[in-house]
């Protein structure tokens, strides 16, 4: 089964949600307490996905709210310089700040993120700042789950989803669960379920689907059985280094293997995976190939320092897939 995208749209993908700052530890293999130097990058899952898609050659746009400060201006300039359309990124006029994510790289397996997200500008996006004229120019609206955590951003996203459905724009829901932004798991489950049921494609880790279902050890079969009663045509469930699974409404299932690599840090895997998976899907390469593109892109980003700047090109992704296919063939 192939997902059909409207070919006559100016934008391949418009993402909605947060565009923030990552401050990644320059000194590796040590605790945050002992880390003295951090390098600044643009961050925030949907911003990373828009940047990754743009680097792959998709025409990407962004809907979000930026702080009226140096960080907000840096984010807008950086995204624009990489070809992301920033015309619908609005500037906050009430003094709210840019979200910051400090990353700790204790070892390749032990990475964590310390977030500064009190009263952040991105969660103040108003429904009135979401334009139907803009959304209807896209093939895909990419929704980040974190943008549902608080009002008014929550209503802005719900409006965007309604407008996308009205205008035959495919809704891709990236669960992107960040616990500290939410009041309770019950609340998350209500809003995640609401948006997942109205989406065409839902992407998340197994743990994130458990959050959505408010269960502890959920399983993929139960997840798809539920979701395929509603709008979703495709559900992608990621299992970290064990790879990922894609399920279609008409009963197909595919497994994507992770490409093992020399890991520097694990964060950024999900965003690079999403941008390359969507690139392949929108380019009509089919689901099986899209899983390979996602995994290859993630393998490249986990071996590098950032989540946004490290996003690969199509040539880098295809080279990695070709090398690994050749090695697998030789071992047969």
Ligand X SMILES: Nc1ncnc2c1ncn2[C@@H]1O[C@H](COP(=O)(O)OP(=O)(O)OP(=O)(O)O)[C@@H](O)[C@H]1O
Query: Are 264 and 303 within 8 A, CB to CB?
Result: yes
Residue 101's binding partner out of ligand LN3RO5KU, ligand X, none, with CB under 5 to 8 Å set by partner kind: ligand LN3RO5KU
Nearer to ligand X, 6 or 107 (CB): 107
Nearer to ligand LN3RO5KU, 227 or 278 (CB): 278
**Alpha-carbon distances of 254 from 162, 247, 258, 292, 302, rounded to whole Å:** 30, 7, 13, 11, 23
Match 């009041």 to its residue by tokens: 183
Contacts of 156 (CB under 8 A, 6+ apart): 16, 63, 125, 126, 127, 129, 130, 147
Residue 200 sits in the site that holds ligand LN3RO5KU (CB under 6 A)? no
Strand partners, 236: 203, 246
Match 């932004």 to its residue by tokens: 181
Compute the half-sphere exposure of residue 200: CA atoms within 13 Å on the CB side of its CA: 19
Residue 181 sits in the site that holds ligand LN3RO5KU (CB under 6 A)? no
What is the per-residue DSSP string for 68-79? SSHHHHHHHHHH
Which residue number has the CB closest to ligand X?
270
Nearer to ligand X, 11 or 41 (CB): 41
Match 């934008």 to its residue by tokens: 11
Residue 202 sits in the site that holds ligand X (CB under 6 A)? no
Residue 270 sits in the site that holds ligand LN3RO5KU (CB under 6 A)? yes
Parallel, antiparallel or unpaired: strands 253-256 and 111-116: unpaired
Residue 43's binding partner out of ligand X, ligand LN3RO5KU, none, with CB under 5 to 8 Å set by partner kind: ligand LN3RO5KU
Nearer to ligand LN3RO5KU, 32 or 113 (CB): 113
Residue 45 sits in the site that holds ligand LN3RO5KU (CB under 6 A)? yes
Provide the H-helix boundaries in 136-268.
153-166, 185-197, 206-213, 220-227
Q: How many CB atoms lie within 10 A of CB 322?
A: 11
Residue 226 sits in the site that holds ligand X (CB under 6 A)? no
Residue 61 sits in the site that holds ligand LN3RO5KU (CB under 6 A)? no
Here's the x/- map for ligand X, 255-284, by CB under 6 A: it reads as: ---xxxx-x--xxxxxx-x-----------
Among the listed residues 17, 25, 44, 320, the single contact to ligand LN3RO5KU using CB under 6 A: 44
Among the listed residues 188, 199, 226, 295, the single contact to ligand X using CB under 6 A: 295
Residue 220 sits in the site that holds ligand X (CB under 6 A)? no
Residue 289 sits in the site that holds ligand X (CB under 6 A)? no
Nearer to ligand LN3RO5KU, 175 or 227 (CB): 175
Residue 240 sits in the site that holds ligand X (CB under 6 A)? yes
Q: Edge-to-edge strands of the sheet including 60-66?
A: 89-91, 60-66, 11-16, 138-144, 170-174, 201-205, 234-238, 244-248, 253-256
Nearer to ligand X, 82 or 241 (CB): 241
**Alpha-carbon distances of 289 from 2, 155, 279, 310, 319, rounded to whole Å:** 11, 35, 10, 21, 14
Residues forming contacts to ligand LN3RO5KU in the complex (CB under 6 A) are 20, 22, 43-45, 48, 101, 113, 267-268, 270-271, 307
Residues forming contacts to ligand X in the complex (CB under 6 A) are 205, 238, 240-241, 243-244, 258-261, 263, 266-271, 273, 295, 298-299, 302
């Amino acid at each position: 089964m192939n997902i059909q995208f409207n070919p006559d749209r100016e934008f391949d993908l418009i993402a909605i949600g947060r565009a923030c700052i990552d401050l990644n530890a320059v000194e590796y293999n040590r605790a945050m307490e002992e880390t003295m130097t951090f390098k600044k990058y643009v961050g925030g899952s949907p911003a990373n996905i828009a940047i990754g898609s743009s680097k792959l050659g998709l025409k990407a746009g962004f809907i979000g709210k930026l702080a009226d400060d140096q960080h907000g201006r840096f984010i807008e300039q950086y995204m624009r310089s990489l070809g992301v359309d920033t015309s619908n990124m609005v500037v906050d006029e009430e003094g709210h700040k840019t979200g910051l994510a400090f990353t700790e790289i204790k070892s390749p397996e032990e990475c964590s993120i310390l977030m500064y997200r009190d009263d952040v500008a991105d969660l103040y996006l108003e429904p009135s700042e979401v334009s139907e004229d803009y959304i209807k120019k896209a093939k895909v609206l990419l929704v980040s789950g974190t943008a549902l955590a608080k009002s008014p951003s929550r209503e802005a996203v719900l409006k965007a989803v309604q407008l996308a459905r009205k205008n035959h724009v495919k809704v891709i829901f990236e669960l992107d669960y960040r616990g500290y932004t939410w009041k309770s798991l019950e609340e998350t489950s209500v809003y995640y379920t609401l948006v997942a049921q109205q989406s065409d494609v839902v992407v998340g880790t197994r743990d994130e689907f458990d959050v959505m279902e408010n269960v502890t050890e959920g399983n993929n079969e139960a997840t798809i059985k539920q979701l395929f009663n509603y709008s979703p045509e495709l559900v992608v469930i990621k299992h970290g280094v064990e790879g990922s699974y894609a399920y279609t409404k008409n009963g197909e299932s595919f497994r994507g293997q992770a490409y093992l690599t020399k890991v520097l840090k694990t964060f950024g895997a999900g965003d690079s995976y999403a941008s390359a998976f969507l690139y392949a899907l929108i380019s009509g390469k089919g689901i099986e190939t899209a899983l390979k593109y996602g995994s290859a892109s993630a393998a490249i980003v986990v071996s590098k320092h950032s989540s946004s700047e490290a996003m690969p090109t199509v040539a880098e992704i295809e080279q990695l897939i070709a090398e690994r296919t050749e090695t697998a063939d030789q071992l047969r």
